[in-house]
Amino acid sequence: MNLIQFMGALEIGLLYGLVGIGVLLSFRILDFPDLTVDGSFPLGAAVCAILIVEDVNPWIATFCAILAGMAAGLTTAWISVRWNILNLLASILTMTALYSINLRIMGRSNIALLGEETIFRPLESSSYSLLYTKPIAMFVVAGVVLVLIYRFLSSEKGLAMRATGANPRMAKAQGIAINRQILFGISLSNGLVALAGALFAQGEGFADVTLGSGTIIVGLAAVIVGEAFFNPKVIFTALIACVVGSIFYRLTVAMALNAGFLGTQSSDLNLVTAILVGIAMITPKLRAKILDFKAARNSA
């Protein structure tokens, strides 16, 4: 792996760290498996790209992308909560609908942003190479989001959200309207994912309707790889683990795809991803088994 590939993996890793935090909110904190993200990531990219092409300020375009993502999340949560539809199915419904909606928004399957005004544009005029400035900009964004989400989750409102996922019955008994928590939490999660989509479109210079496929597995990879490494007990570590997990995942994939001796090629990406996530999921169980085995041997 050369420096360009390394910095690229770092940049994309940080960007998908946002997706990881979104997935952490839905899967882990609210215990709401949400596949909407496969639609809200390209939704964010689409909304942002079309607005930028229409000469809207890129910051406003990014903000609109977040709002669109939140609306998508709200739809999923509403279907699930209001009509008592299994959360996974509700999210599949929204995800499916979003594919068409994204095509409608863009008017075509692909929009190029080359030469357009983006939030990364000012970096181009700096005397430092984009090779370094873009990952640093992404690091700042991921850092700010992480701190904001951390502050939220340790607030009174955030604690109510965590209780909703951990023990809904107890949460209700403590006066928490759990339905509202789910509506807001899933919106927030998809807003973050759409933000990632908008940043992706601006950073990579294009939006494509197929961008979203596999977003959920990449987000899960960030969460699960991070958990395998950090074994987080508190919420702050869990958030850090998401971002670090995402970077690690990107680096591993980049290495695996570049390892000449393995004979891999770039089309093997999904296979490599599945194997990596599989290993990350099995590792904690294996660790527990080995500890059990050792304890049994010691007591014998």
Q: In whole angstroms, how close is the CB of 17 to other proteins at the nearest point?
A: 23
CA distance 225 to 26: 17
99: its two tokens: 């594919």
Site string for other proteins, 262-281 (x = CB under 8 A): --------------------
Q: Is the Cβ of residue 175 or residue 263 nearer to other proteins in the bound state?
A: 175
CA distance 280 to 291: 17
145: Cβ–Cβ under 8 A, 6 or more apart, which residues?
18, 21, 192, 195
242: Cβ–Cβ under 8 A, 6 or more apart, which residues?
17, 20, 21, 23, 24, 222, 223, 226
Q: In whole angstroms, how close is the CB of 174 to other proteins at the nearest point?
A: 5
Q: Is the Cβ of residue 7 or residue 172 nearer to other proteins in the bound state?
A: 172
Residue 154 interacts with other proteins (CB under 8 A): yes or no? yes
185-204 binders of other proteins (CB under 8 A): none
Residue 133 interacts with other proteins (CB under 8 A): yes or no? no
Question: From the list 178, 193, 201, 220, which residue makes contact with other proteins (rule: CB under 8 A)?
Answer: 178
Question: From the list 104, 169, 285, 297, which residue makes contact with other proteins (rule: CB under 8 A)?
Answer: 169
CA distance 95 to 195: 17
219-238 binders of other proteins (CB under 8 A): 233
Q: Of 82-90, 118-126, 156-164, 258-266, which part binds other proteins (CB under 8 A)?
A: 156-164
Map 100-145 to HEC letters: HHHHHHHCCCEEECCCCCCCCHHHHCCCCCHHHHHHHHHHHHHHHH
Residue 162 interacts with other proteins (CB under 8 A): yes or no? yes
| In contact, 223 and 245? CB cutoff 8 Å | yes
Q: Is the Cβ of residue 33 or residue 232 nearer to other proteins in the bound state?
A: 232
Q: In whole angstroms, how close is the CB of 121 to other proteins at the nearest point?
A: 33
Exposed / middle / buried, residue 107 (Cβ in 10 Å: 0-12, 13-18, 19+): exposed
Q: Of 58-66, 94-102, 152-160, 207-215, which part binds other proteins (CB under 8 A)?
A: 152-160
The sign one gets for the Cα dihedral 95, 100, 106, 112 is positive
Residue 167 interacts with other proteins (CB under 8 A): yes or no? yes
Phi, psi for residue 294 in degrees, rounded to 5: -65, -45
Q: In whole angstroms, how close is the CB of 152 to other proteins at the nearest point?
A: 7
Residue 148 interacts with other proteins (CB under 8 A): yes or no? no
84: its two tokens: 């008592």
Q: Which chain residues interact with other proteins by CB under 8 A?
A: 151-152, 154-160, 162-163, 166-167, 169-178, 233
